[in-house]
Chains A and B, each alone.
Chain A
Amino acid sequence: MAGKHHPPEVRRATLADAFAPLKLQWAVAEATRCLMCDDAPCQKGCVAGVDIKKFVRALRTRNVRLALSVIREANFLVATCGRICPQAELCEKRCSATGLAKPIAIGELQRFVGETAIRERMRPTFPPPRSEAQVAIVGGGPAGLAAAYYLRGAGIVADLYERRARVGGVPMAGIPRFRLPRDLLGAEIGFVAEGGARVIHEAVTDLGALADRYRALFLACGLGAPREAGVPGERLAGVWIADTLLELVNLGEDTRGGAPPRFSGRTVVCGGGNTAFDAATVALRLGSDEVVVAYRRSEVEMPAWPLHRGFAVEEGVQLRLLLLPREIQGEEGRVVGVGFQRAELGEPDASGRRHPRPVDGAFESIACRQVVLALGNHPSAGWEALSLEAGASGPRVDPETMETSRPGVFAGGDLVNGGATVVQAVADGRRAARAIAQRILDE
């Protein structure tokens, strides 16, 4: 179910929170609507394996504390995932109440629990530490943080290496702050440091040495650099890489990157993933009069989730389909438009989606003052130094334990799945933590 957002005309004018606050009464009423199905199909849809039936039942009797501990057991990013998980594709997709009227708003219920917990300072409690500094985690995104959190829950204090000034990974740098306010995410990932995990802000240059020094190593260093379009004009003023733009808007003031830029006129976003739509909604808020998302294939092939698209379209973001960027046009070093070649759909490619085939001689330009490129990321690099067996993307891992071909080295998150959801990264981190803890505590 879509979140309870502020109306589009209100939210598109500000970088402040786009979600409306939720009240206890709403949560109890919504929880009461739950049919409490026998086999809880929603839970099978949850990547993190949250005991949804149990937490919803707890909310029915206003037992927020119990609901919280049930969710945290499987996913410590309670409010975060309540906001940004694609529930319509996961838990809510399978809700039996859909047949009655509409699915239970599981994501919003989880958001309510998470936000109440932060407001009322319901901190997780950890057992006394049993073991220190035997585990290193590389990467302070959701997967790495989850591993640290769940290791701490097993009594193991890990060392977490993060090359950036702030932990939080993609949700911190790349998810617009009006979808996921910084203080809210900060509070949830803050529990990891509060629990005692040591965060070491340095770039790891020698993974081999690290693997030798620690009894277990968890690699969660995410994806590589953003892809470029490979067309003329990418260096013109006014051309942005989506990741860079999003990070500047989110963290610019903290990282001395400066204040967010001001946009004007039309902005064209190239891409069709969730990042493209995040960038489009950011572009609106930076002052664009009009924002156009231009995608190579048709709406059916678009990787962005329908509700995420809907959020942007509601705010006035326009969609142009079957357009291949060929050049970014400039005058006096500044972008003035994008030249596209029209495409039609051909045969399915390796991704199973129909391939865009250029139509001879069909060109068109869209005039604009900003271009944002949201074309995905290169696969992660660096892990090859450990000579691990490769999988479909990144190192190959055992799906139960997240262990790589090298014993004692584990990996998870975007690094191994090629870029998926935050909840998937949390699930990976937790799985690795469980396997690592079992091994260390068994010895």
Chain B
Amino acid sequence: MPTLQVDFLGSTLRNPFLLASAPPTNTVEMIARAFDRGWAGAVTKTIPLEKVPVRNVTPRIHSIAFAGFAEEARRVYAFGNIELVSEKHADYWMDGIARLRRDYPDRFLMASLMAEAAAEGDWVELARRAEAAGASAVELNFSCPHGGMPPHAVGAAIGQDTAIARRITRWVRAAVRCPLVVKLTAAVSDLRTLSQALALAGADAFCTINSFPVILGVDLKTHSPLPSVAGRGNVGGYTGRALKPIALRATAEVAPAGRPISGCGGITTWEDAAEFVLLGATTLQVCSAVMLEGYDIITDLCDGLLSYLEDQGAERLDDLRGRALHNVVPHASLDATARRKSSIDLETCTRCGKCAIACRDAGYQAINEAADRTPSIDEDKCDGCGLCIQVCPVWDCMVMRAV
């Protein structure tokens, strides 16, 4: 029987799914409830030391939804937030970690930590206390996009500076024996060099990625960035499905560093999860999907991933891990001689004409429409770009065929 069990940083997890460090892990009680629903582990909301004031604003979460039709529900495909780290401090969390460790000895419990770039003592203190409390690992938050505790560099400001990130990783490495995970931001020019440097500095694993810095929108009446806090806004963190392609790229870039990866960024369905595994992830962190649909999606994620294992004839996720990595190649290595052209299944075609419009105005004028709107491909003109297939609203109606 296939199993979703994975080994990660010395622990055996019942499934690869962890709650990411985010609103779904706001409190100890919430994490306990998620464990009861079947989550294999969780990363606490990022823990600051007592001396750090954390003052959140309202509102601090906004989203982008599909416009859809009037009769349709509003459907979020990305969130943007300007929420800070946990408003609860180290005392609360260390006590909570100890309780969760006692009540859920088999779950993977990671303490997410944040301190200022130069504060060696703070990093060391946080990591030692988390280890003593019984955390399975510590996750260094080098990636939060709001720079939440000015004037000193925190979060992404660290993850964007290799020298600072390496220095903090060394401090923590020297201070604790428990596994050390670094959570990265993709808002950098190159994750390959950074991840290799941090691996050498002692990072045992990486989490790819945290939210991406964005301005989610601007209110057209008040001219305030969104979410608007009394008429003003801030660069926020972009999460949810829209983030997934960026996170997939980051995962593939970090894989050569040779450390286990906790994939994170827009994982919503088992299919998303499988993609991260194919690009090298061992565990998978989820936040936005839980913000939308609650802890119960864990059963859907697990059931779907398990049936994918069966489909693939695999026993464990290890059998599939990284299988897509060797297929990510430079453009020059792609086979330019394999020519393909579009074809249309007229049985399922709805005669909407979207392919013809796209080809006419953004392609090669290769799709003709008959009087009854039936489309046909002019194979001499078709250049095989594939645009028509992407705009076709019917699945599997248009496909590329070798010529």
Contact = CB atoms under 8 A, between A and B. Distances in A.
A60 B299 contact: no
B73 interface: yes
A66 B71 contact: no
B307 A54 contact: no
B271 A61 contact: yes
Interface string A37-49: 0100000000000
Nearest to B270: A61
Given A58-B300, A61-B269, A65-B307, A38 B73 contact: no
Interface in B175-206: none
A238 to B, nearest CB: 45
Contact of A60 (B71, B269, B307, B395): B269
A97 B303 CA distance: 26
A66 to B, nearest CB: 5
A63 B304 CA distance: 7
Interface in A70-124: 97, 100-102
Contacts of B307: 63, 65-66
Contacts of A54: 299-300
Contact of B304 (A24, A58, A102): A58
Contacts of B297: 57
A24 B395 contact: yes
Nearest to A35: B73
A166 interface: no
Contacts of A36: 293
B231 interface: no
A11 to B, nearest CB: 22
A138 B270 CA distance: 44
Contacts of A60: 269
A97 B269 CA distance: 22
Contacts of B75: 32
Contacts of A33: 72-73
B73 A97 contact: yes
A61 B308 CA distance: 12
A61 B73 CA distance: 18
Nearest to A62: B271
A118 to B, nearest CB: 19
Contacts of A28: 395
Contacts of B300: 54, 57-58, 61
Nearest to A23: B348
Nearest to A61: B269
A36 B269 CA distance: 14
A201 to B, nearest CB: 38
B2 interface: no
A438 interface: no
B395 A66 contact: no
A396 to B, nearest CB: 38
A25 B294 contact: no
A347 B71 CA distance: 43
A61 to B, nearest CB: 5
B394 interface: yes
Nearest to B75: A32
Interface in A1-59: 23-25, 28, 32-33, 35-36, 38, 54, 57-58
Q: How large is the interface on B (under 10, 10 to 19, 20 to 34, 35 or more residues)?
A: 10 to 19
A101 B71 contact: yes
Contacts of A35: 73
Contacts of B348: 23
A199 B229 CA distance: 71
Interface string B26-64: 000000000000000000000000000000000000000
A100 B71 contact: yes
A42 to B, nearest CB: 15
Given A33-B72, A35-B73, A61 B394 contact: no
Given A25-B395, A38-B294, A61 B72 contact: no
A25 B270 contact: no
A128 to B, nearest CB: 15
Contacts of B303: 58, 63, 66
B328 to A, nearest CB: 24
B73 A100 contact: yes
Contacts of B271: 61
Interface string B207-230: 000000000000000000000000
A102 B303 CA distance: 29
A63 to B, nearest CB: 5
Contacts of B71: 100-102
Given A57-B300, A61-B269, A66-B307, A25 B72 contact: no
Interface in B248-299: 269-271, 293-294, 297, 299
A58 B297 CA distance: 10
A54 B299 CA distance: 9
A35 B394 CA distance: 23
Given A35-B73, A36-B293, A54-B299, A61 B304 contact: yes
B270 A101 contact: no
A38 B307 CA distance: 25
A20 B213 CA distance: 49
A63 B72 contact: no
A356 B294 CA distance: 53
Contacts of B293: 36
Interface in A278-302: none
A442 B31 CA distance: 37
A61 B71 CA distance: 22
B290 to A, nearest CB: 12
Contacts of A100: 71-73
A106 to B, nearest CB: 16
A35 B300 CA distance: 15
Q: Which of the listed residues A25, A32, A35 has the most CB atoms from chain B within 10 Å of its own CB?
A: A25
Interface in B367-396: 394-395
A165 B394 CA distance: 45
Interface in B125-155: none
B270 A63 contact: yes
A66 B73 contact: no
Interface string B104-119: 0000000000000000
Contacts of A61: 269-271, 300, 304
A58 B302 CA distance: 11
A101 B74 CA distance: 12
Interface string B325-351: 000000000000000000000001000
Interface of B: 71-73, 75, 269-271, 293-294, 297, 299-300, 303-304, 307, 348, 394-395
Q: Give the 4 A-B residue pairs with the shortest CB-CB distance, closest first.
A: A101-B71, A61-B269, A25-B395, A57-B300
Interface of A: 23-25, 28, 32-33, 35-36, 38, 54, 57-58, 60-61, 63, 65-66, 97, 100-102
8 contacts: A23-B348, A54-B299, A61-B269, A61-B270, A65-B307, A100-B72, A100-B73, A101-B72
Given A33-B72, A54-B299, A58-B304, 12 more contacts: A25-B395, A33-B73, A58-B300, A61-B269, A61-B271, A63-B303, A63-B307, A65-B307, A66-B304, A97-B73, A100-B71, A102-B71
